[in-house]
Amino acid sequence: MHCEIETIDAMEQVPAADWNALVPADQPFLRHEFLHALEASGAVCPASGWTPQHLLVRVGGELAAALPRYRKDHSFGEYVFDWAWANAWERAGGDYYPKGLTAVPFTPVPGPRLLLAQDIVERRQRRTVIAALAGACCDDALSSWHLLFAEDDEVDDWLAIRPELLERQAVQFQWRDRGFGDFEGFLAAMNAKRRKEVRRERRRVAEQGLTLRRLTGPAIDAAALEHFYRCYQMTYFERGQQPYLTLDFFRRLRETMADALVLVQARHGERPLAAALCLQGSDTLYGRYWGSEVEADCLHFETCYYQGIEHCLANGLTRFDPGTQGEHKLSRGFAPRRLRSLHHIAHPGFRHAVARFCAEEREHVAAYHRDAEARLPFRRD
């Protein structure tokens, strides 16, 4: 199979239908509409430190594969933190930036990174495509290239082609339907202590006069979206930061992929006070963005976790990924999942030092994963 590699500097240079034909149904963040909205809204552009350099693979003139890729001038918005690597290399007199990155900007969601036509998947020729792409990605003109939050089989294939790549691991927390049926069935699977605590948290929200409402698709009108964005901004302002994403970005999502949006509103009477915006694929709900105009006891747990679980159970979704970080998710039924990333470091001496760090880090992550599994709140009868 002969692969021809093409680099594009904007999503608009490839037809949406051609790109989306490569995207798995459960991956809204890899859809052309999502990546294009990031670029068209200005969140991803050279001025923001994200220069698109997406790779297309053509076989016989037809688009057979695609790999999102960016030239980065910093490490913001990635969630696999390499600031210490950058500081060490620059103290040694090197230039860590710009670097190469394959990820979904501002979106620490695991999934495929290499998008493949179905006939290539069926013929199991992914490694052939990876071998063709490896030279462009592992370009020693840059200090490094990073493949973030990729699926296990894709990571294994990259390592088979480029064994010098360094692996990092992390842990996120995800909910999976174990045949619960409904939310009461989910609670029934928990131990008595945690079941009582979840019920208390939900009751506490109601006692404060708050009600929850889930909106999907066309039901998310302009006013609801603008209120959500005010709440989303406040999450950043409270930390003295500016939000990564603009209202224009979210408006573009509403215009082009409303079918993938789920908006949870917390209300007092008819007035919305807090909101969480999720995206959904064919099997998974992804919790992404949240904010609140008020401080209310247990409101975050209800809006961002319990409403998402209810939505999954009501709509046949088998998995809920509520976002990165947050060990408090564990006691609410979200199980630990190991995530993997790969890193190409151009300089041999620097690569050796980073390799030692990654090996030690993996041991700590493995121990943490085992401990988290042991602390899940489900009954063991």
Averaged pLDDT for residues 261-272: 97
Look up tokens 């006692």; give the residue: 207
Contact 306, 100 (CB under 8 A): no
Task: Please report which confidence band the pLDDT of residue 101 belongs to, taking 50, 70 and 90 as the band edges.
Answer: very high
Averaged pLDDT for residues 30-47: 98
Look up tokens 């860590």; give the residue: 96
Q: Is the pTM above the cut of 0.85?
A: yes
Averaged pLDDT for residues 93-102: 97
Structure confidence by residue, pLDDT tens digits, 198-257: 999 999 999 999 999 999 999 999 999 999 999 999 989 888 888 999 999 999 999 999
Domains defined along the chain, listed by start: 4-169+339-374 (3.40.630.30), 178-317 (3.40.630.30)
